[in-house]
Amino acid sequence: MADDNRRGEDDERGPGAAYQMFVVMEDLLDKLKLLDYEEEVLSKHNMKPLSRHYFASSAYMPSNPGEQFFMFTIIASWLINKAGRPFEQPQEYDDPNATVANILSHLRAFGGLVDFPPSKLKAGSGEHVCYVLDRLAEEALKKTGFTWRRPNYPTEEMEDESVMEDDAELTLSKVEDNMTGEPDDDDEEENIMDLEALKSRTNQSVSCTVLSSKPDNILESNTDATEWNLEVERVLPQLKVTIRTDNKDWRIHVDQMHQHKDGIKSSLKEAKGYLDKLQEEIGKTLEKVGSREKYINNQLEHLIQEYRSTQAKLSEAKELYQQGSGGVTERTRVLAEITEELEKVKQEMEEKGSSMSDGAPVVRIKQSLTKLKQEIVQMDIRIGVVEHTLLQAKLKEKSKMTREMHATNIPEPAVGVY
């Protein structure tokens, strides 16, 4: 199980602490396989299986921080849900800081120790990523009721070899005497009799002979000798015995080591002579190349000096060219500015000349004056009409007032009886 207190200060840990995450990653992969992450995570998201050191960071291992962080969030959310706490599966474009904060909050709820900054998890690999996933896997295994048990190693039973003291028993010396050589073809290997099968056959034959009773008379063979020899030649390949060697025996490995050692020594003696010759040839060739190089340098010394002086003149010419090109560029820029100002002045002069030679404004002024005179005449007529109307109104009012005055001054007629 993952230990919460296994991560401390760097000076308190041993030199092997840097490689502890590789061990934790291997344990994590076993726990994920116990939780059946291939079917529930990889098949669902169409992802490849994790390697043994997928989340372990190292300078000698290729890394993809974006992919590893996305895989970390997917597996962490799945483990949290497996542990019995609801957690929404993060998406690819979610805020990584919020996702990491949610994962660490659930880890604290499980009782996990979080003594590192959340930014350590954004890389997608490293010691802290392995620790978080391993701790969540432990909680998921607890939720499923899984418990670790001691391994049961199978006991190897030694087979008791029974020694049969009989005429039909084959000893190793007899087998070596009768063996003519190892067959090379596959057809001959099929015809070779196994030692275990031969033992079983001999045991059966012995048991049969014990059960059978002794013959009363002397047995006499009626078989022809030539036929017997032909049958022996036919059955002889099947009577060859093969002894199966155990590859786990240390004696075989020691013999193989000695054989390889002798082969290396013999090969080294042969190769050493060739290598010494090759070294001598390479040394002579290097000496020839060095002397030839010195000779060429001496012969071409004056050409090299001329080349160097020419190269210095070329660099000076390049500097002069750069200075001249810089002055030309500056003068070209000034010329462009002056040309632009000249174009503006020309455009203004053209506009003023066209306005002075054009009679359209005078015609427009005359038309405006004519129109203004017509409007003045119309206004005079309207003013005269209004004055005439006012005069008639005043006259009517004056005549009315005169009539009213005369009407009030006339005496009333005397009323009498005629």
Q: Assess if residue 33 is contained within a domain.
A: yes
State the Cα–Cα distance between residues 80 and 139, nearest whole angstrom. 8
Q: What is the pLDDT of residue 229?
A: 87
**What are the Cα distances from residue 316, in Å, to 304, 313, 319?**
18, 5, 5
Q: What is the pLDDT of residue 3?
A: 46
State the Cα–Cα distance between residues 67 and 129, nearest whole angstrom. 14
Q: What is the pLDDT of residue 159?
A: 46
Q: Assess if residue 137 is contained within a domain.
A: yes
State the Cα–Cα distance between residues 140 and 75, nearest whole angstrom. 12
**Paired strand residues for 242:** 194
* Nearest Cα residue to 239 out of 166, 182, 199, 179: 179
Q: Using alpha carbons only, how large is the chain's radius of gyration in Å? A: 60
Count of structural domains within the chain: 1
pTM, 2 dp: 0.37
Q: Assess if residue 289 is contained within a domain.
A: no
Q: Assess if residue 157 is contained within a domain.
A: no
* DSSP 8-state secondary structure symbol assigned to residue 36: T
- Beta strand spans in 152-213 (E): 193-194
3-state secondary structure of 193: strand
3-state secondary structure of 359: coil
* Nearest Cα residue to 24 out of 42, 3, 40, 44: 3
Q: Assess if residue 106 is contained within a domain.
A: yes
Question: Which two structure tokens, joined as six digits, stand for 256?
Answer: 């193989």
**160 alpha carbon, distance to own chain's centre:** 59
Q: Assess if residue 163 is contained within a domain.
A: no
Q: What is the pLDDT of residue 188?
A: 43
Q: Which domain holds residue 119?
A: 17-144
3-state secondary structure of 241: strand
Only one residue has tokens 């542990």, namely: 83
- One digit per residue, pLDDT tens: the chain, 418 residues? 444 444 444 445 566 777 788 888 888 888 888 888 888 888 888 888 888 888 887 766 777 788 888 888 888 888 888 888 888 888 777 788 888 888 888 888 888 888 888 888 888 888 888 888 888 888 888 888 877 777 777 765 544 444 444 444 444 444 445 544 444 444 444 444 455 555 565 555 545 544 444 555 666 677 788 888 888 888 888 776 665 656 666 777 888 899 999 999 888 888 888 899 999 999 999 999 999 998 888 888 888 889 999 999 999 999 899 888 888 888 888 999 999 999 999 998 888 877 777 677 788 888 999 999 999 999 999 999 999 999 999 999 999 888 888 887 655 554 444 4
Return phi, psi of residue 8, to 5°.
-130, -155
Q: Assess if residue 199 is contained within a domain.
A: no
**Paired strand residues for 194:** 242
**What are the Cα distances from residue 165, in Å, to 34, 79, 201?**
55, 67, 15
Q: Assess if residue 298 is contained within a domain.
A: no
State the Cα–Cα distance between residues 9 and 111, nearest whole angstrom. 21
**Paired strand residues for 193:** 241
The pLDDT tens digits for 332-369 are 889 999 999 999 999 988 888 777 776 777 888 889 99
Q: Side chain identity at 22, as an amino acid letter?
A: F
Question: Which two structure tokens, joined as six digits, stand for 319?
Answer: 């500097």
Return phi, psi of residue 242, to 5°.
-110, 135
Produce one character per residue of 355-392: b if its CB has 16 or more CB atoms within 10 Å, e if not: eeeeeeeeeeeeeeeeeeeeeeeeeeeeeeeeeeeeee
- 83 within 8 A of 110, measured Cβ to Cβ: yes
Q: What is the pLDDT of residue 410?
A: 59
**What are the Cα distances from residue 367, in Å, to 55, 178, 341, 360?**
93, 146, 39, 11
State the Cα–Cα distance between residues 2 and 83, nearest whole angstrom. 16
Q: What is the pLDDT of residue 119?
A: 84
Q: What is the pLDDT of residue 200?
A: 60
* DSSP 8-state secondary structure symbol assigned to residue 90: P
